[in-house]
Structure 1
Amino acid sequence: IMDTSNASSGDHFTLLGFSDQPQLEPIISVTVLLFYIMTLLNNTAIILVSFLDSRLHTPMYFFLSNLSFLDICYTTSIVPQMLINLWGPNKLITYVGCILQFFFAFDFGATECLLLAVMAYDRYAAVCQPLHYTVIMNPQICKKMVAASWLTGLCGALSMCSFAFTLSLCSHVVDNFFCEMPAFLKIACEYTKVVEVTIYTLGIIYLLLPLFFILISYGTITQAVTNIKSGRGWKKVLNTCGSHLTVVSLFYGSAIYMYLQPKKGSTYQVDKFLTLFYTIITPSLNPLIYTLRNKDVKGALKWLFIKIQSSGSSHGGTVG
């Protein structure tokens, strides 16, 4: 049984994680490490090819490289501390570390919600306004959209973090593997109406409104697609939008369940594994989802691999 006596100290929190199922911890730690390595490698590859290959200097890949950077930041704010706790004898995190983890997880998560909405608008412009696409999605507008997503996410994280850490806490034992808002608020002494309204307001702003915008964008796209008679046109639209819709479904489905469910209706074990899915597994899958059906990215990745391989061979030849 894990000793949580130190958890009462005001300068530390205890992250229980999966300590109630110790037999699963080695399996979870190996799985998390593998998915984290996949996240770093796959998303870094997307960023590199989007930057180096001039054929990918388009709004879609500009947004995709930002999404990849977000996923790297998001998982890095969680996984290192999680692995330390899984491998170590205690499950502690400092008070400052908990604040930072709470802040960055909310910031990157909220920014991703907004960025996915921006990407939906890009797909709408590409399908429904093809003749004006380059004007609508010019580089300056794309940069402003991404900057607005980052700034809005930052504002939400600052307001939520300052609010959450002013609450009186009945415990310093967080029943999750990182300092996330739903788990953190469960240790607040009073779950008042103010807390509930604040949570649901932020949920509406950062989850439901972007999702509503995405659904409107894809509703308009669907309407436009019904007018396409050729099978080739349908296939092109599916390739253009299918990947983004898959990512949206994975991310929003789990996030809405976690953040907008009633407090009393939640189950700790379900919450933990669902949190594990959308914080660790989904970011590693996003690059694969976007590249599996995308000839441009697959071609660019192949070009990058050949370039690295030839560079290594030439250096080896020089040394020899």
Structure 2
Amino acid sequence: MRNHTLVTTFILLGLTEDPKWQVVIFVFLLITYLLSVTGNLTIILLTMLDSHLKTPMYFFLQKFSFLEISLTSTCVPRFLFSIVTMDKTISVGACLTQLFAALLFGIAQFFLLAVMSYDRYVAICKPLHYTTIMNTRVCSLLFGTCCFIALLAICPGVIFGLDLEFCGTIIEHFACDYSPILKLCCKDTRSMQLVNFIFATIILLITLVLVMFSYGKIISTILSFPSAQQKKKAFSTCSSHMIVVSISYGSCIFMYTKPSAEDRMSLNKGVVIVNLALPPVLNPFIYTLRNKQVKEALKDIIKKCTSTTSK
């Protein structure tokens, strides 16, 4: 006989109990979420409708926008719903599904960033062979590989997660994160937390090394260009992606380099909420405002829409 009851629901504490701060958080998250979905959907539609954006770079940008929407949608709508309804409960199944979905989309995103940096490397360092190397089949295969690796990466966690038994119900977070959930387990999970930390570090390091290797080659190639105009043009094609990479890796590295576990837990919620809210909003603006082709495509679509509505 077990000396504990079967836990079927968790209670997500959220970010704060202060009603005023809850209103501020709700408004902030709602605005950023709507902007994120609108901006990323705009990029997806533009890359699908405009013939000038049927290139490998925009193919990967389209998939990156899809992953951004998927990642932020795993946690933010549920949290907004809990603020409005004051219902902080979530079933164990829904919680684990949210966790593994967020991990799947997040890991796929990091590998896709590495693929996007490789695409820029081929475009700048091997321009004559670009269309041959980065053909439609290769692009689809690379994106499929990112998703497959992410799926493989979360499989051990899913298998272990199905076998977990919980003795606690209160999660000190606004979403179902790995460490707070493991704290509720009946058995000692320190080894699992260590494995999780090592796994996350390996994924970050592998993808970061791939990105840095690609950009190391890119920078050395650009510096060898004789013309200053060529250098400026080459750097401008990579600048948007470099900014997105810096934001994505910067926030994750910050989460894993805090001095103690206690500090990690206290700051983790704030870092996660900023990471979920701001990058998905900033990325569409970074790619559109710094990219003439995307701006031209957007103007063309708006002109077509206004001309059809005026008729």
Query: What's the TM-score, normalizing by structure 1?
Result: 0.90
Q: Secondary structure at the match of 1:114?
A: helix
| Residues 208-252 of structure 1, C-alpha deviations (whole Å, 9 max, x = no match) | 101111011111111112212322112112211111111111111
Q: Report the Cα offset of residue 10 of structure 1.
A: 1.3
State yes or no: 1:231 paired with 2:205. Answer: no
How large is the RMSD of aligned CA atoms in angstroms? Answer: 2.0
Q: Report the Cα offset of residue 86 of structure 1.
A: 1.4
State yes or no: 1:62 paired with 2:69. Answer: no
AA of the residue aligned to 2:191: V
Distance 2:262 2:130 in 1: 45
Deviates more, 1:183-192 or 1:45-54: 183-192
Where structure 1 has 5 or more consecutive residues not aligned to the other structure, the ranges are 1-7, 315-320
State yes or no: 1:151 paired with 2:148. Answer: yes
Q: Report the Cα offset of residue 89 of structure 1.
A: 2.1
Deviates more, 1:214-223 or 1:262-271: 262-271
Distance 2:304 2:78 in 1: 35
Q: Report the Cα offset of residue 183 of structure 1.
A: 3.2
Q: Report the Cα offset of residue 194 of structure 1.
A: 2.8
> Residue 124 of structure 2 aligns with which residue?
127
Q: Report the Cα offset of residue 265 of structure 1.
A: 4.9
Q: Secondary structure at the match of 2:10?
A: strand
| Residues 94-143 of structure 1, C-alpha deviations (whole Å, 9 max, x = no match) | 11210110111000000001100000100110111111111111111010
State yes or no: 1:138 paired with 2:110. Answer: no
Give the % identical residues. 37
State yes or no: 1:294 paired with 2:291. Answer: yes
2:45 pairs with 42, 45, 48, which one?
Answer: 48
AA of the residue aligned to 1:224: T
Q: 1:115·1:146 contact (CA, 8 Å) conserved in 2?
A: yes
Q: 1:106·1:157 contact (CA, 8 Å) conserved in 2?
A: yes
> Residue 84 of structure 1 aligns with which residue?
81
Deviates more, 1:194-203 or 1:281-290: 194-203
Q: Secondary structure at the match of 1:117?
A: helix
2:270 pairs with 266, 270, 273, which one?
Answer: 273
Query: What's the TM-score, normalizing by structure 2?
Result: 0.92
Distance 2:264 2:212 in 1: 29
Q: Report the Cα offset of residue 35 of structure 1.
A: 0.7
Q: Report the Cα offset of residue 197 of structure 1.
A: 3.9
| Residues 16-68 of structure 1, C-alpha deviations (whole Å, 9 max, x = no match) | 11134443111011110111111111111101110111111000000000000
1:104 pairs with 95, 101, 105, which one?
Answer: 101
State yes or no: 1:284 paired with 2:281. Answer: yes
Distance 1:190 1:206 in 2: 27
Q: Secondary structure at the match of 2:174?
A: coil
Distance 2:26 2:92 in 1: 23
**Equivalent residues in 2 for 1:157-306, closer than 5 Å:** 157-188=154-185, 192=189, 194-259=191-256, 264-306=261-303
AA of the residue aligned to 1:171: G
AA of the residue aligned to 1:231: A
Deviates more, 1:75-84 or 1:178-187: 178-187
Q: Secondary structure at the match of 2:268?
A: helix
1:39 pairs with 33, 36, 51, which one?
Answer: 36
Q: Report the Cα offset of residue 166 of structure 1.
A: 3.2
